[in-house]
């Protein structure tokens, strides 16, 4: 009876709990956590902690808590929002001399809500900031044309061209943001079909040929002609597009961007390698964040919004894949996307 009462209290609580047996396997997961991690609370019973929270630091802390019989606290990353929560780990033994028989892991929902609020505030501030600079330019040019028009026709045209360029930049920004929010909210969840990766890459390279020729950057498709996977081809085309267009954008004339691909166990990998300017090690961990750009001044000139890689990351997450980057400043960058070859039972 006491157990039932306790469980009811835990289920009514807003906080998130996992109860482990002494051997570290799952005995119970609170409904709030199961919902958040999109797992079925019943079917994970008896499995390892990684079935709910695949974080190696958490597992280490739990092992320590069991071995030493002492409480631990560790910060756990909850995808997809990159929110980090403090997890408190409490081992339970009948007496200090006896073996640990259970472990309680608790995380605060309040802390999660606070973090999400902070992220939202930062997001609104970033968006406003990004929209403000093109808007200021448009207003400046338009007011000049209206109140103090230059005599020179060519000068007038230059101002108008600048207005169009800045307006296009705002349009891209808004479209990219809508795209991102559709993927994030699950509205644009992937429509999986069998697809040929070589052909997807081929279509992207055709679209980007003009841009590459202009930048004098050579493009090559080295994906094997028969490499296939189950994916949303429209979304994966967007991933390849964003990675290759970055490759072109950040590679000086005379360089190259190569797309390769291979099958590996139950995965298909795609790699976009360029011979460009590279990314400093300190920036590497942040480039998938929205609006993050290594060189803010340069991107203002090129109209880059800093959303391309955030979109890549979200699409790859929605495919249950992984994206990683390696780079050496001055020598080039290499982005690798790993995707499940088969998206069994998903739609």
Ligand X SMILES: Nc1ncnc2c1ncn2[C@@H]1O[C@H](COP(=O)(O)OP(=O)(O)OP(=O)(O)O)[C@@H](O)[C@H]1O
Residue 72 β-bridge partners: 89
> What's the rounded Cα separation, in Å, for the pair 339 and 89?
33
Using CB under 6 A, pick the residue from 308, 323, 339, 343 that binds ligand X: 308
Nearest CA-CA partner of 59 in 83, 38, 77: 77
Instruction: Kindly tell me which of 91 and 276 has the beta carbon lying closer to ligand X.
Output: 276
CB atoms within 10 A of CB 209: 11
Q: Kindly report the backbone phi and psi dihedral angles of residue 20, in degrees, each rounded to the nearest multiple of 5, phi listed first.
A: -110, 150
308 binds Mg ion (CB under 5 A): yes
Using CB under 6 A, pick the residue from 205, 219, 287, 323 that binds ligand X: 287
Using CB under 6 A, pick the residue from 166, 195, 274, 339 that binds ligand X: 274
Instruction: Kindly tell me which of 308 and 321 has the beta carbon lying closer to Mg ion.
Output: 308
> What's the rounded Cα separation, in Å, for the pair 297 and 277?
16
Stretch 217-256 residues interacting with Mg ion (CB under 5 A): 246
- Token look-up 């930062």 returns 122
**Inter-residue contact 242 to 210 (CB < 8 Å):** no
Q: Give the count of residues interacting with ligand X (CB under 6 A).
A: 23
Q: Which stretch binds ligand X (CB under 6 A): 21-29, 65-73, 152-160, 303-311?
A: 303-311
Q: Which stretch binds ligand X (CB under 6 A): 25-33, 91-99, 112-120, 241-249?
A: 241-249
Binding mask 24-53 for ligand X (x = CB under 6 A): ------------------------------
> What's the rounded Cα separation, in Å, for the pair 134 and 127?
12
Q: Which stretch binds Mg ion (CB under 5 A): 213-221, 264-272, 300-308, 335-343?
A: 300-308
Q: Minimum distance from CB of 211 to Mg ion (Å)?
A: 12
- Residue 187: is the preceding peptide bond cis (ω within 30°)? no
255 binds ligand X (CB under 6 A): no
First to last CA, the chain: 42
Contact residues: Mg ion, CB under 5 A: 246, 308
């Amino acid at each position: 009876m006491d157990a039932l009462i306790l469980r009811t209290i835990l289920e009514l609580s807003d906080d998130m709990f996992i109860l482990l047996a002494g051997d570290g396997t799952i005995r119970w997961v609170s409904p709030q956590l199961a919902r958040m991690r999109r797992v079925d609370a019943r079917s994970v019973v008896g499995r390892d902690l990684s079935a709910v929270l695949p974080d190696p630091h958490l597992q280490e802390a739990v092992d320590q808590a069991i071995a030493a019989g002492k409480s631990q606290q560790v910060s756990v990353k909850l995808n997809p929002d990159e929110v980090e929560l403090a997890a408190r780990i409490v081992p339970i033994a009948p007496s200090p001399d006896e073996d640990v028989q259970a472990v309680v892991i608790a995380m605060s929902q309040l802390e999660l809500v606070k973090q999400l609020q902070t992220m939202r505030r930062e997001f609104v501030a970033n968006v406003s900031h990004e929209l403000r600079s093109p808007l200021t330019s448009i207003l400046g040019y338009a007011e000049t044309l209206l109140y103090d028009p230059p005599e020179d026709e060519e000068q007038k045209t230059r101002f108008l061209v600048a207005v169009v360029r800045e307006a296009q930049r705002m349009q891209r920004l808004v479209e990219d943001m809508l795209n991102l929010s559709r993927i994030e909210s699950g509205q644009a969840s992937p429509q999986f079909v069998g697809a040929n990766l070589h052909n997807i890459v081929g279509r992207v390279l055709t679209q980007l040929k003009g841009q590459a020729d202009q930048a004098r950057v050579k493009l090559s498709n080295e994906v094997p002609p028969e490499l296939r996977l189950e994916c949303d081809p429209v979304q994966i085309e967007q991933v390849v597009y964003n990675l290759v267009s970055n490759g072109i954008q950040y590679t000086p004339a005379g360089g190259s961007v190569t797309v390769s691909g291979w099958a590996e166990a139950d995965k298909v990998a795609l790699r976009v390698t360029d011979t460009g300017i590279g990314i400093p090690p300190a920036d590497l961990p942040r480039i998938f964040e929205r609006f993050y750009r290594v060189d803010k001044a340069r991107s203002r000139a090129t109209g880059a919004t800093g959303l391309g890689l955030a979109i890549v990351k979200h699409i790859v997450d929605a495919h249950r894949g992984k994206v990683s980057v390696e780079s050496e400043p001055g020598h080039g960058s290499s982005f690798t996307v790993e995707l499940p070859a088969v998206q069994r039972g998903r739609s």
